[in-house]
Every structure is written in structure tokens, then in C-alpha cells.
Chains A and B, each alone.
Chain A
């Protein structure tokens, strides 16, 4: 299926061999990576995806076309396009390409909260944590947070990719004024390589504190109202002080300062709502406080449709429709309210009703246990809820791209756009099916294969001596350390060039172990991926680096830790659990 020019294989071998050998040969390794790139020319990242059915955008389909991806960009799309001579060619006969999906609302816990609570004096001062300099006195106001400062973890990336998302708007949580959302691609290589735009929106949510002001919803709203007034005052005070320094300077407040763009309507607020009346409260506050807003809906907007449609704010609509209530017997049925029954029946029609009423909607996986449930719920919205298929796809691609002002870069397979694509398996070409067969994602022109993860059958924890075989006479020794629980999260590192690089995305599936690390420190921007089969104390497999593929074999020299006592009852329960929740795909679709 894939033809790879031999030239690149040898370049890769040269690259890896040279890099790994450098510290052994010369102390002045730092500059050699640059020299290497000059020596072998830029690492080519050109791909021709041929004979594919191409869903250019929700209303345009090319039945048999070629898409050329060069250096992360789509450079050619069409039926008559010839594969460039320098391209890796991938024949996608029978397969379909879609634009990558865009998630407009994905809240992530702000990792800085622990440090913000940290004290200068250890346990003795634990009851009186020192506030960071310039922090707003109320911890619900954390508008300064910048999600661009924190890359999402590998599991988050894997889950979102599993649903076909190639781009997501990440919003810090928790809080009332939560901080700046960052738009990122979901590729490998960390935040620096994937950040598309920072400070896209300011997150808002009418949350309450467990204790301390504000503990009531009305207190939360009062705090929001006061803080917005304060932020406008702060901007005005700063301007006055700049013009007239001969007066007492205003006290620095990093959070009021960070609200400047939002209160000046240069930045929308991304207003999360928890139920239909919360949504109406949000609309009233947006109006009263004179803000630009994108609403994150609750899923019950249909109950007060006119209010949401006439307000004119774009709505990010969740598809976490309620499961069927438990009405197994008469007693159970009595416990289910008429309101709950009606909501169960009506919820899947929420997106279509909002559209019909004239609202601009984007669909979101927010609220689902796993983003991988997106497709089943969108299929529900189409079948039970009468949502137009074209509109459903647009609500995940072109509409969010337009809201972001990035319609030329995202949401469609067009020349000049970022090469974010979904490659369907030849067996199933419909992305809007309840369980679509996504073979791979392309993010910034890099292919990330997807496949199902199986329950772990081996424990690869321990230290491995691995030899990367990049071709004849090119065996590169690597030391690999893996630790953690194969059923849950594993971490690890690879020792190369005398340094230790952290692994991300360590997954155990059946007898396979997969992991990757960022090749940037080795002069190869992008992920270097390994996929090995473990057999007792040995492992062998294949891998892929930005310049090309390789094979590897390894031997465990330490570990694994003693196998835990096997609890048959628990095992039984675990398997029963898996069966019951099969529709939620507990392991999701993981990447390798």
C-alpha cells in the first residue's frame, strides 16, 4: 500500500546513527544536529494520498481524487493531481478522507492550582497559603490562566483523536472566570508544535465554591458582575495613571488585567452552562455585562428555544443525551419523573431544533464519558433528532472553523489549509455512522494510525536493552525503561545521546506495547513511534520516525515487578463490566 523512496530510509538511518553516535565521538554535539540537517537536506514531509474519496467540506465530495500534503499543509486537491516525485504515496483506493473534526470546548484541570496553593513555609503555614503576587483575592477569579502554557496529557490527546478530533479549544477549569482558552492541534510534539492560537476566549462558568464566598449561585453571579465592573475600572485606571502619574498607582491585579480583552469585547467569553435556566441566566448576564460570547449549551436549549436562538450567540451544543431511564419494573418507573422522560425523548432533537430556530451551532463531545461516544450520539441526533447530516458534519468542521476565524486553515480539505484529515478504513467510509471505522488521523501532515486497544495480556514494565535496526549495518542501541500499570497508565523513558527522553502515549494492548517520544531533541521534529510484541523477556516490533520506518528488537534486563496475586473474582467483575459497557468502548480507540 505504501511506497517509500529508498533515499529517505537511508537518510533516516544516517540521521539516527549520527545523532546517537555523536556524544560518543565528539563533545561538541550541540551544533551537530544543525550541521546534519544541512548535510542531508531538509527532512521531507511530502505525502500524496491517491484514489481517495475526498469529503472536501460538508457539501462537496470528490469521488476519486488525490490530496497532496507538503510540510503540514494541503498543497493540492483534485482528481487530476499527479503525485509529486518527492512524495510518499499512499494509495487510498476505497477509503474516504474527511476534514479533521474541531472540538470547541474541552475543559482541562488547571495544573497550576496545586502550586498556587503551595505555601512558602511548608506544613506550618499550610492553613494560610500565600496568594501569588497580583492574584485576585477570590480564587474563583483566575482569568490570568493561559491554557497555552500547559500541554494536554497523552491520554487526553488519545481520547480526542479517537473520536476524529484533530483540533480542540482547551479551557482551564475550575473557577468562575477560568482563564484563557487555547486552540491547539492534537498532534505529537507538545504545545510548541501544536498551538494554533492562544487566548481565543475567556472561560466562564457559574460555579460555586464548596465553602467561602461565593457559596451560592446568586453569590457567584454577584462576583461575576463585580469582577467585570472591576476589570473595566482597572483598564480605565491604568489608562488614567499612564496619562497622569502624579497620583497613587492602582494596585496590580493579574486577573483583572487578563480580563481586559474580554471586557473590551476583543475576546469572547466561552460561557459554560449546566441546565436550561443556567443558560438563560448566562444570556441575561452576557447582555447586561455587554460581552461577546459563545455559549456552551446544556443540551436542554429546546425547552426555551426562542430565547437561545434570538440571542444570536453561537452555541457549542453537547450531545451527551441521557441514557434511557431505568424503568425495569413498576417501582423503578415510579421514580422517573415526567420531566426526565420527556428530556430523554427530546434531547436528541436539541441540535436540530436549535438549527431550525436559526441558531449557529457547533457540536461538542463535552459531557461524554469518552469523546469516542461522540459518533453514536451524533447518529442519535441524526436519526432520532432529525438533524441534517450535512449540518452535523458542518457543526464539527466548517462552523467551528468559521467561529474561530480560521475557515481557510481548518475544517475543510482545501489548498492552503492545515493538513488535518481523517482517513477512514476502506471498510467503512461514513464518518457519521454510529461506530465509524477511522483508520488514521493526519495532523499537521503527520499520520497517526488508530486502532482498537485490547485488554493488556503482558506487563512490559522493566528495563529493556533495545536495538533499533534502521538498515544494514545500522544497529543503534537504546535503553528503554517502562513502569506503571499496564491496565492503567504507564510511563517510561528512552535513553539516547546520553540523555533521557520521556515517553508519551505508552499503551499496552494484548501482547503489544506502543509508545512514542518527541524526536525534536534528536533533530527530528515530530513523534518517533514504537510498536512491539512482548514475548516473555523479549520484544520485537516496528517503528516510524519522521524520516521513515525502522524495526527493533529488545531484551528485558531488569524487572518486571513480581506479578500481583490474581484475584479471580475481580477479574470476573472486570470482564462483566467491560461487557456491560461495551457500547462505550472502554479502551476507546487508541493511537500508536
Chain B
């Protein structure tokens, strides 16, 4: 609140000329790119040097709490000021949004998502697949990115599925619609890995044709302990080789073990799919035995029963707001889980685990108010700052504070209201979504489509009448592997089983 009022604009007057061009492009409130539904075809959004939102209600999710009639100032992709009258001397050519009557929040962070993955969410074959990497298969063309952007989601934690006790390495992306997979990757995030407990890895109800060790919950624990012990063994072998003298044959490389050693060293965070309290306690024990902390229990629908143990261990939970009774092992799930965990000092977030839910996560935050009476500002943090901390990106995103990335959302009203609409979504200070621009662009897309259809009809007079090959004709020799999120178990099993 006592931020010095040194003008943040005076030092860069020399840039004014350069800004004229960008300013001209951004002069209208409709100026935003990325409104194309085809990623590779989407033009890059404008890159305004300065963005100003004036006179808004700003939910900072930071120490400043909620500010009324406040300004947000962004320069070169970073937040430089948040507060009353901080935009007084903004350059005339800044991209300016009239925030009166609007609410501004940090970009929403979905800490458990399976969007934008190509060629399967699960490597469901082996019980441990720590070597596979979601980062390798990010599908930057998935329309879910744009749809979620339109709901204010700016960051997603893309996870391997829950078919294995130790699944693949996770990836964190920013929803920079139009960029390729490398452009989406949020490099600042902590490396992560998916673990899973319970029915999904043990698969004991999948039928005899799918028999795989383990078939019990105890076996799931055993498989994790085995893998970690094997990793420690290989580490010792590698250390012994270093002293084995010239021309000794080194141990064979093992990328699975490399990932597990990062877990043991605390440089790769464990995000474990979990439901039952007994299994949560089991994994806390395994982690304690090996000297690491489980960063986040994903789902953790029984976690309210062991909230104190979780708080003591320093583990967070990323829960569903109000999903329950979709499988037997969640029979004790209650929608108050998040509120109870939060109250007992557990770092708590909500997540979507779902392409569609991921575009309205502001309302998931609101459910923490509805079920358990969490204060609205704290509830919003379930979708902003708390997942940022869980992903190790809270120094970059998750709250509206000077120095952080300018990832923010302008809402038509209170973000926890079902009547509010996402009007703008900014990432790195660039307007990746503008509702007005999206609506405006629909006519142009309809026109383009009509022209293309006319061209096809003209060409079809001489050409073939075969069906379209499509944009991404699949020529893989293997049949399409089943893809499923790890919560929709009925369809998941149906797709996997022949």
C-alpha cells in the first residue's frame, strides 16, 4: 500500500515513437489477436508495450487483498503497478481498458488437466513409466486451449493419467493460443511427476485379460517402494563405477531411474492421484522413508480426514470442488473437503481434470464459499495463488503484484458470480482473448468458410468426391490408443478393455 509513487513512465519516453505503431493497432478496445479457432492460423496477439486497466475492482490474490477503483499497469509483459491512481501518467498510446464496473483477477491456473495431449494420456502398460514425458506430446492445436482461455484460464498443469503407480512426467503450459508446443511450455515451473494410488493403478476389476502386478492397494505401495529402491541401487552402482578405473564399462543409462532420482533429490515434485485417507497416509510414509515431500495429493477426496497429517507433512491438496459418488473408493467424498483442508492449514486448490470444466474454474472457486464458507478472496486463491505455489510458479504468476507476469483476466462482474463473463484474458501482457474481438471475428470466419466451400464446389466438378483427408490425417500404423482422463473411470475402463 505504501508503494513509492515514482512515475513508471517517465524513464521510457524515448519509446513513445516506437509505441505509436503498436498504439495504432491497439487503439480500439477490440484490439486483440488469436480469435481464430485454428491454432496455426491464429495471428499472434498484439504486443502492447503498456497495458492499463483503470478504475476496476482488483482481486490481487496477494498481500494487497482486494482493491476498489484501482488501476493495473503492465509494461513489457510484466505487472509494474497495482493500486489507486497508479496509471495517472500512462502514455496516451497504451492499450487502455476502462475497468469501471469490472473485476480483475490473476489468470486462473488449472493444477490438474489433460487437455492438449497427443497420442494418449496414459502409458498404461507398465506399472512404472517415469521416463515418459507429457512435454513431448503437447498438442498446441487443441481447441480446448482457446476455449479455456475464453474462461480466464491462463496456465494448466498437464498430467499423465492414473493408470500406473508411477506415471509420466508432467508439463505446465501457458495458454498462448497460436504458438507451437514449445511456445506453450512454461519453463519456470517445477518439474513434476504423476503418481497414482487405488483402483486405477491396481486394476483388479479390469478382468483377467488385463492382469498386471499389482492387483492390491498394498501392491501399489510395493511397486512404488520397489521402484525407488531400484533407483537408489542404480545410483550406488553409478557411484561405484566412478571409482572403477579406466575403461570400466559404465552402467547402462536409465531415463526412468533418472526421473526417480530427481524425486528422491526433491527436484521433481510428486503429484499423486489419490482418494482414500489410508492411502494418503501410506504415501506420506513412503515419502518420509525416502526423505522427500509429496508436493500435492491430486483429488484427495478423503483428505479432510487426514488434514492435520497433511499440514504437518507440508503436502498440498488439489481437490474437486463437488464431485462425489462416481466410484466406490470415493464414497466418503464431501464437497466441504476444500474448506476443511484450507481451515486446517493445508495448501488447497481446485482443479478441472476436464476439458470443459477447465473453462469455468472461477465458479469452482465459488463453491468453496458455498460449501464451507471460505472467504471469497481466499476461495479465489484456490484457482490462482494456491495452484501457483503447488506448481512452483508463484514467483511468476498466481497474484497481481509488481514484477509478476501480466497474466490477468477482466471480468464483467464479480468473478465468483455465475452471471459474470470473461471479457479479456491477458498472458505476458498480451491480449490472447478478447470477447469482443472473438464475436467480431465470427463474421469474417463465416465469410472465409463460405468462400472455401464455394471453391471446393467449383473444384469438385473436375475432382473427386472423396471425404476430406482432414487436417491431421492419422497414418499411424497402430490403432488409436484410448485416451481418457483419470476420473471418468467408467468410460476409461470401457475404452481400454477390448
* Interface residue? A25 (CB, 8 A): no
Complex Cα distance, B256 from A229, in Å, reads 12
Establish whether residues A241 and B457, one from each chain, have CB atoms under 8 Å apart when the complex forms: no
A207 touches B453 (CB 8 A): no
Contact of B253 among A211, A230, A300, A307 (CB under 8 A): A230
Q: Give bound CA distance, A131 to B36, whole Å.
A: 51
Does A343 contact B477, Cβ atoms closer than 8 Å? no
Find out whether the CB atom of B471 lies under 8 angstroms from the CB atom of A300: yes
The stretch among B25-33, B128-136, B334-342 that forms the contact with chain A is B128-136
CB distance from A313 to the nearest CB of B (A): 17
Candidates A226, A244, A275, A280; contact of B247 at CB < 8 Å:
A244
A281 touches B472 (CB 8 A): no
Residue A149 interfacial (CB < 8 Å): no
Q: Which interface residue of A212, A216, A274, A304 has the most chain B CB atoms within 10 A? A: A216
Chain A residues positioned under 8 Å from B122 (CB to CB):
216
State the Cβ distance, A526 to closest chain B Cβ, in Å: 36
Q: Is B187's beta carbon under 8 Å from chain A?
A: no
> Does A345 touch B at the CB level, under 8 Å?
yes
Q: Tell which of A218, A276, A300 touches B137, judged by Cβ atoms closer than 8 Å.
A: A218
Please give the number of chain B residues whose Cβ is less than 8 angstroms from any Cβ of chain A in the complex. Answer: 67
Within 8 A of A (CB), among B100-139: 117-126, 129, 131-134, 136-137, 139
B252 at the interface (CB under 8 A from A): yes
Chain A residues near B256 (CB-CB < 8 A): 226
Question: Does A323 lie within 8 Å of B466, measured CB to CB?
Answer: yes
Asked whether B181 lies within 8 Å of A277 as measured between CB atoms, the reply is yes
Q: With A247-B249, A333-B453, A345-B452 in contact, is A216–B481 under 8 Å at CB?
A: yes
Contacts of A206 in B (CB 8 A): 119
Contact indicator per residue, chain A 323-345, by CB within 8 Å of chain B (1) or not (0): 11111100001001111111111
A222 interface neighbour in B248, B255, B470, Cβ under 8 Å: B255
- CB-CB under 8 A for A327 and B471, given A222-B132, A233-B252, A237-B249: no
Binds A, one of B37-45, B76-84, B195-203, B398-406: B37-45
Which of chain A's residues have a CB closer than 8 A to the CB of B445? 338
Size of A's binding interface in residues, CB under 8 A: 67
The chain A residue with its CB closest to the CB of B477 is: A174
A226 touches B248 (CB 8 A): no
Contacting pair A221 B125 (CB below 8 A): no
The answer to whether A244 and B38 have CB atoms under 8 Å apart is no
Tell me if A208 is interfacial: C-beta within 8 Å of chain B.
Answer: yes
What 0/1 readout, one digit per residue, does chain A (156-196) give for beta carbons within 8 Å of chain B? 00000000000000000110000000000000000000000
> B125, B129, B456 — which one has the most chain A CB atoms within 10 A of its CB?
B456
In the bound complex, CA of A323 to CA of B469 (Å): 7
Asked whether, in the complex, the Cβ of A219 is within 8 Å of the Cβ of B132, the reply is: yes
Contacting pair B38 A243 (CB below 8 A): no
For A203-229 the 0/1 string (1 means CB < 8 A from B) is: 001111111111111111110011001
Is A367 located at the chain interface by the 8 A CB criterion?
A: yes
With contacts A274-B474, A276-B40 known, is A217 near B118, CB below 8 A? yes
Give Cα distance in the complex from A142 to B452, angstroms: 44
Q: Enumerate chain B residues within 8 angstroms of A342, measured Cβ to Cβ.
A: 38, 41, 452, 471
Residue of A nearest to B255 (CB): A226
Q: Check B468 against A213 for contact (C-beta < 8 Å).
A: no
Partner of A325, one of B126, B141, B468, B479: B468
- Across-interface contacts of A275 in B (CB, < 8 A): 471-474
Min distance, Cβ A381 to any Cβ of chain B, angstroms? 15
B207 CB within 8 Å of chain A: no
Are the CB atoms of B119 and A233 closer together than 8 Å? no
For A211, give the chain B residue with the smallest CB separation. Answer: B125
Known: A213-B125, A275-B472, A340-B468. A280 touches B180 (CB 8 A): yes
| Inter-chain contact A233/B253, CB cutoff 8 Å | yes
A244 touches B248 (CB 8 A): yes
Interface residue? A322 (CB, 8 A): yes
A583 within 8 Å of B (CB atoms): yes
Determine which of A173, A250, A336, A339 lies in contact with B249 in the assembled complex, contact meaning CB atoms within 8 Å.
A250
Which residues does chain B contribute within 8 Å of A216, judged by CB atoms? 119-124, 132, 137, 481
Residues B456 and A344 in contact, CB atoms below 8 Å apart:
yes
Instruction: Known A277-B141, A343-B471; judge A338-B123 contact (CB<8 A).
Output: no
Let me know if A221 and B452 touch, CB within 8 A: no
Task: Kindly provide the distance from the CB of B56 to the nearest chain A CB, expressed in whole angstroms.
Answer: 35
Asked if B476 contacts A274 (CB within 8 A), the reply is yes
Are A280 and B463 touching (Cβ within 8 A)?
Answer: no
> In the complex, what distance in Å separates the CA atom of A456 from the CA atom of B466?
27
Q: Give Cα distance in the complex from A306 to B172, angstroms.
A: 25
A284 close to chain B: CB less than 8 A: yes
A217 near B247 (CB under 8 angstroms)? no
Q: Does B429 contact A (CB under 8 A)?
A: no
The answer to whether A243 and B247 have CB atoms under 8 Å apart is yes
Instruction: Tell me if B168 counts as interface (CB < 8 A to partner A).
Output: yes
Q: Are B470 and A343 in contact (CB under 8 A)?
A: yes
**Which residues of chain A have C-beta atoms less than 8 A from B141's C-beta?**
277
Check A324 against B460 for contact (C-beta < 8 Å): yes
How many Å from the CB of B44 to the closest CB on chain A?
12
Q: Is the CB of A327 within 8 A of B123?
A: no
B158, chain A: closest CB distance, angstroms? 11
Is there contact, CB below 8 Å, between B467 and A326?
yes
A240 within 8 A of B: yes
A354 to chain B, nearest CB (A): 15
Within 8 A of A (CB), among B446-464: 448-449, 452-453, 455-457, 459-460, 463-464
Q: Is the CB of A207 within 8 A of B37?
A: no
| Chain A positions near chain B (C-beta within 8 angstroms) | 173-174, 205-222, 225-226, 229-230, 233, 236-237, 240-241, 243-244, 247-248, 250, 274-277, 280-281, 284, 300, 303-304, 307, 320, 322-328, 333, 336-345, 367, 581, 583
What are 21 A-B interface contacts by the 8 Å CB criterion? A208-B119, A213-B129, A215-B123, A215-B125, A218-B136, A221-B132, A225-B255, A230-B253, A237-B249, A244-B247, A244-B248, A250-B249, A274-B476, A280-B180, A300-B472, A307-B180, A322-B470, A323-B467, A324-B459, A337-B471, A342-B38
Q: Which 6 A-B pairs have the closest CB atoms?
A: A217-B119, A216-B120, A325-B468, A322-B469, A244-B247, A208-B478
